[in-house]
Structure 1
Amino acid sequence: MDLISTRIITADVKKLISFYEQITGQKAIQYTPDFAELRTTVATLAIGSTRTLQFFGGEGVAGAAQNRTVIIEFRVKDVEEVYSRLKEFLAAYLVQPPTQMPWGNRSLLFRDPDGNLVNFFTPVTTEAIQRSGGDKGA
């Protein structure tokens, strides 16, 4: 079994596409006005409109902008450089500037426009680098 993607359900697909394109520097693929994907070499972040819920059992199965349990994580080569580059853009969304975590990562925490928590991190200790496959980041 392979984890392929995480999907965010939103009332504003265009706004989230724009946000994630800005923070990742990658272009999303928008298949329809209600669905887009931002693909990385490891997994995909999907963005779906609330209108797509009809295909998954109806509006009651998920709600836009209600997540308080999941952190969307991106491993980056240098979290300090990313923070420096995006500092102004992320000012309104910032939860925590780059901080050393006890498990060996430097983490930058912020929320997307729907309130989803996002973590950009760089493994910095020997143990964390080894856990990530011997690479500091993408």
Structure 2
Amino acid sequence: MISKINLVTIWTDNIEPMKNFYNDVMGFEIINDLGEYVEFKNEGVRFALCERKVMVNFSDEYKIRANGQRFELAFPCESVEDVDHSYMILLDKGAVGVKSPQNMPWNQRTALFKDPDGNIHELFVDLE
């Protein structure tokens, strides 16, 4: 069995707002923009957005919409202060806050925010 992830793609019906969010708000550089598919520069796993309608031609399964939170992207920070500061920067750039920074029982400081499709993501740092 293959146990390696090479690419994470977020399926969307709103490519432009999502592209602008991950480029302008999150700071991911666009390395490939085909209109309905956008790939960003990312260390390690490749990261992309794709219009859902592109894949419907390959399988009707892509017509099925996810209901509720199905995944989370977690963005590591350098320090507690970095979590707090990064969260404020994201809010200033237009991200929607879900939960302000706080220390969690699993020994991390986290903050939660949403992308334009409503996917909830996390900033975090491990606490000493």
Residue aligning to 1:98: 101
- Show the 5 A alignment for 1:81-92: 81-90=85-94
Structure 1: which 5+ runs fail to align? 126-138
Is the 1:9–1:63 contact (alpha carbons within 8 Å) kept by the matching residues of 2? no
> Residue 53 of structure 1 is aligned with which of 50, 55, 58?
55
Residue aligning to 1:72: 73
2:106 counterpart SS class: coil
Structure 1 counterpart of 2:97, one-letter code: L
Residue aligning to 1:15: 17
For 1:79-112, what per-residue CA distance to the aligned partner results, in whole angstroms no more than 9, with x for missing partners? 1121232232346x11101111222221110111
2:90 counterpart SS class: helix
Matched, 1:116 2:123: no
Equivalent-residue separation in structure 2 for 1:105 and 1:54 (angstroms): 39
Residue aligning to 1:136: none
Question: Percent of pairs identical after alignment?
Answer: 25
Structure 1 counterpart of 2:20, one-letter code: S
Structure 1 counterpart of 2:71, one-letter code: V
Is the 1:9–1:62 contact (alpha carbons within 8 Å) kept by the matching residues of 2? no
Structure 2: which 5+ runs fail to align? none
Structure 1: 4+ residue segments shifted above 6 A: none
> Residue 6 of structure 1 is aligned with which of 8, 13, 26?
8
Q: Between 114-123 and 38-47, report the one with greater CA deviation.
A: 38-47
TM-score, with length taken from structure 1: 0.75
Equivalent-residue separation in structure 1 for 2:93 and 2:127 (angstroms): 25
Q: 1:62 to 1:79 in 2, by over 3 A?
A: farther
